[in-house]
Amino acid sequence: MPIYYPDILENPPTTWTFSYGDKDVMLYALGIGLGADPLNRDELPFVYEKGLKVVPTAATVLSSAGVGRAQRTQTSEPREGWRQSEINYLMVVHGEQKVELHKPLPEYGSFTAEMRVVGAYDKGAGKGAVIINETTWTDDKGEKVATLTGSTFARGDGGFGGPSDGAPEPHVVPDRAPDISVDFATTPDQALLYRLNGDRNPLHSDPDIAKAAGFDRPILHGLCTYGITCRAVLQEITGWDPSVIESHQVRFSAPVFPGDTITVDLWRDGKVISFEARVKERGVTVIKNGKTVLRA
């Protein structure tokens, strides 16, 4: 079935409750490469329960921890005549991701999440579609914790008749040389570790599925690369203090293969950190239009 527009925007929100603990926090940090050197005292607090710190971008996976997915429910019934849209998930890649933290993520807790589709843009038949979802977290006091905005590039679902313009404009990075550049080596098994955070898409683990999707081998999760760029900001800008980061957003531009070396280029302009990421071995930019906002 195709994407039905504007029905997809009227899809009732989905809500679920979830909890996470220190194991989930540490697994995420390990998945983005923290703790590779057990003697690195700057990274240790992210992978050790003594004085545990939470990487801000862990918000993208922590809502999948524990029993969260089993409890998802729609908050209301769809209207009469509403048509269920279907996306070809074999042809889906992550387009953009933003995490906005209304307060620093705690080490553990129980939360309620609500997700809704807030935009759908048609690139044309054979050119794909962009679907934008927004998820908000509230804690057990009813206070907002995080807002996650993500876009999905559905490569096989263009031509559904929706608008082609109106999507949010990407952040523009400075045209000067980067202020800082830092390298991060990924490991050949990194996607197999990262997927234990909850994203079991076989595109990241099964060579046959990856080949069917047009890749010669499984690719690294875009959200893993996203987490690595946040790691760069923590390391080079915030002095390893995650509470300083208010938001972190990126646009995915090319896949990373496990084993690639990722170079993150950063520009600092007051409370705004711009960044891009590239794979040195292949000369490919994999993250564009990156922006971190620091707390005032």
Residues with catalytic roles: 199, 204
The answer to whether 131 and 154 have CB atoms below 8 angstroms apart is: yes
Structure tokens at 99: 């995490």
The answer to whether 267 and 236 have CB atoms below 8 angstroms apart is: no
The DSSP line for 57-111 is GGHHHHTTSTTGGGG-EESSPPPTT-------GGGEEEEEEEEEESSPPPSSEEE
> Is residue 105 classed exposed, middle or buried when 0-12, 13-18 and 19+ CB atoms within 10 A define those classes?
buried
* DSSP label of 243: G
The DSSP line for 15-26 is EEEEEE-HHHHH
Which residue matches tokens 């999760």? 221
Rounded Cα distance, 23 and 180, in Å: 32
Reported as type and span, the H/E element at residue 29 is helix 22-31
Structure tokens at 199: 């994203």
List % helix, strand, coil for the chain (3-state, nearest 5): 20, 35, 45
The DSSP line for 209-231 is HHHHTT-SSPPPPHHHHHHHHHH
Beta-bridged to residue 275, according to DSSP, are: 266, 290
Structure tokens at 96: 């953009």
